[in-house]
Amino acid sequence: MLDLTRLVDDGYCFACGTRNPIGLQLKFKQHGERVEASFLPKREYQGYNGVLHGGIIATLLDEALAWASKPEGITVTASLEVRFKKPIPIGEPLKVIGRITEKKKHILYGESWIEDKSGVRLAAAHGKLVLVGSKEDASSVMD
């Protein structure tokens, strides 16, 4: 069985790994109580013609929550509820945002969303994350 207290970032995370040639290569930055990343959807990530695939949308929202939780330590997602508000077009710049809204012992709750360049929310999520590693463990992947 996988020991979740010994998770290691080897750079191949599909969402943020810099070594993964087919990944999304997200780079989140802290902005006050939230994290933000820019993303330009490529055709390789579409579902229907010209529209970003729903699984990629969920991945973006999940990753925003994971990065928002890093100041607390290393987490894994326990649940994620996604709301698809509008079709997200391929080739248009997006902002992916996440923040933690509540902490109860080893459980974190948060919200994330995707905005277009005008600030219109195209998708949003609420999630529950479980702390499995210390703040010191997380600090090595926050750079």
Residue ranges of the domains in the chain? 27-139
d(CA 122, CA 1): 38
How much of the chain, in percent, has pLDDT values that exceed 70? Answer: 89
Q: Which CATH architecture has domain 27-139?
A: Roll (3.10)
Segments of the chain assigned E as strands: 29-31, 34-39, 75-84, 94-104, 107-115, 121-131
Q: Residue 61's pLDDT band (boundaries 50, 70, 90)? A: very high
Q: What is the pTM of this model?
A: 0.90
pLDDT in tens, 66-116: 999 999 999 999 999 999 999 999 999 999 999 999 999 999 999 999 999
Rounded CA-CA distance 59/22 in Å is 14
Mean pLDDT confidence for 62-68 = 98
Tokens of residue 107, six digits: 């459980």
Sign of CA dihedral 14, 98, 52, 58: positive
Q: pLDDT band at 58, cuts 50/70/90?
A: very high
